[in-house]
């Protein structure tokens, strides 16, 4: 049976926090040795952060350990932002094959090459990936991995250091790195961790077919110039939704244009970045193909709350009971999005624990970009809560 514990400690002395959080996470495991330990550390100078992660590895003694520095951490039912804290997640996963790795970027004849990925086993079901945004091309890696590692879900997030480039700290099996990415492959008979990705948006207006586009510039929607079509739709919206659209309109891109209906989770959400002066088309934060289905989206606290609850409720209804989960929440969510009325920094972890009815720990960190699959393909997201749930 799977056992998962989590621990969270706030202390200006990160070594003290690491010790307390580690022992708290181990309590739920009893005498069982953890197969996987994840550590997340916020606050403090890079060297102190590094020492805290190494202390977690020494105390927990997990068969595999990964972790990263962050601007905020999640654990023990709480989210903590911009405070010196350590969160530890420890899991006993009977029958699991868990292999930790460190990825590095090397110069190659055709550009760059990523090295360090272990050979995939037939029963690997998921990878957790924690990356330094300054030295690791996460978006390009994920795009390539969708083909090279077809069918492998990749869940995780972009780490954060206290003073920008060079200050990120990553751990794999107790060793500290300041570049690249760390991760773990999880497989084995009966070990099927499953992802849930909530992009935090709700649709407005009708679904439309893209009738003209060039790269990431949307030129026509349903045979009408894209800007004109969007303005027509916005004019029909209630004032509240018009205000949301004016502060940041999003585009949902259906990943299966052949589906008869497109529901929650079928759209990849990307921002509308502005107007292309050459074509008067709309610049979108991703490639848009002619013939695909799109729908305008807006993001607010209530919509993000409802989206996460609905997706987790659907997941709970069609999957085994959940022992625990890893949670990678955008640093634009938390207090910034939800405020005190919806739980602030505690919102996402509270909803995950409640909706999945977890019997064990839920931990993670506030990321500067989240990784997770939508409609069967992995993507780098923003403003997302990416969850990896482990069956009991």
pLDDT tens sequence across 69-109: 999 999 999 999 999 999 999 999 999 999 999 999 998 77
Locate all alpha helices (DSSP H) within 133-214, ordered by sequence. 138-148
Q: Which residues partner with 172 through β-bridges?
A: 66, 175
In this prediction, residue 259 carries a pLDDT of: 62
The tens digit of pLDDT for each residue in 275-316 reads 998 888 999 999 999 999 999 999 999 999 999 999 999 999
3-state DSSP percent of the chain in helix, strand and coil, to 5: 25, 40, 35
Measuring CA to CA, how many Å separate 183 from each of 22, 36, 244, 327, 389? 20, 11, 37, 15, 17
Locate all alpha helices (DSSP H) within the chain, ordered by sequence. 14-27, 46-60, 138-148, 226-235, 239-248, 301-318, 334-338, 347-356
Q: Where residue 258 falls among pLDDT bands split at 50, 70, 90? A: low
Residue with the larger pLDDT of the pair 136 and 247: 136
User: What is the value of pTM for the model shown?
Assistant: 0.95
């Amino acid at each position: 049976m799977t056992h998962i514990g989590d621990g969270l400690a706030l202390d200006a002395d990160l070594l003290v926090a690491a010790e307390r959080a580690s022992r708290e996470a181990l309590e739920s495991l009893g005498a069982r040795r953890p197969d996987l330990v994840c550590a997340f550390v916020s606050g403090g100078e890079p060297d102190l952060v590094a020492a805290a992660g190494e202390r977690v590895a020494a105390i927990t003694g997990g068969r595999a350990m990964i972790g990263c520095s962050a601007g905020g951490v999640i654990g023990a039912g709480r989210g903590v932002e911009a405070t010196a804290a350590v969160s530890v997640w420890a899991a006993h996963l009977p029958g699991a094959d868990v292999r930790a790795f460190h990825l590095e970027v090397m110069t190659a004849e055709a550009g760059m090459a990523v090295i360090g990925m272990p050979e995939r086993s037939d029963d690997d079901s998921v990878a957790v990936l924690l990356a330094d945004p300054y030295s690791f091309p996460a978006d390009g890696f994920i795009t390539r991995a969708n083909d090279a590692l077809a069918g492998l879900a990749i869940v995780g997030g972009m780490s954060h250091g206290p003073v920008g480039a060079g200050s990120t700290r990553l751990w794999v099996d107790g060793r500290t790195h300041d570049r690249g990415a760390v991760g773990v492959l999880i497989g084995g008979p009966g070990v099927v961790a499953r992802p849930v990705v909530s992009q935090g948006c709700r649709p407005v207006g009708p679904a439309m077919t893209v009738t003209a586009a060039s790269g990431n510039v949307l030129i026509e929607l349903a045979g009408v110039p894209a800007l004109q079509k969007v303005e027509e739709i916005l004019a029909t919206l209630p004032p509240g939704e018009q205000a949301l659209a004016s502060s940041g309109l999003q585009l949902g891109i259906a990943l299966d244009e052949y589906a008869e209906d497109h529901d929650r989770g079928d759209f990849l959400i990307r921002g509308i970045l502005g107007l292309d002066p050459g074509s008067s088309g709309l610049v979108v934060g991703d490639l848009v193909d002619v013939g695909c289905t799109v729908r305008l989206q807006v993001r607010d606290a209530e919509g993000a709350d409802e989206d996460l609850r609905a997706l987790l409720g659907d997941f709970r209804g069609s999957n085994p009971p959940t022992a625990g989960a890893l949670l990678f929440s955008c640093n634009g969510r938390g207090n910034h999005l939800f405020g005190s009325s919806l739980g602030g920094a505690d919102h996402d972890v509270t909803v995950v624990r409640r909706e999945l009815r977890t019997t064990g720990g839920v931990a993670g960190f506030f990321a500067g970009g989240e990784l997770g699959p939508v409609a069967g393909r992995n993507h780098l997201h923003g403003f997302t809560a990416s969850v990896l749930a482990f069956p009991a």
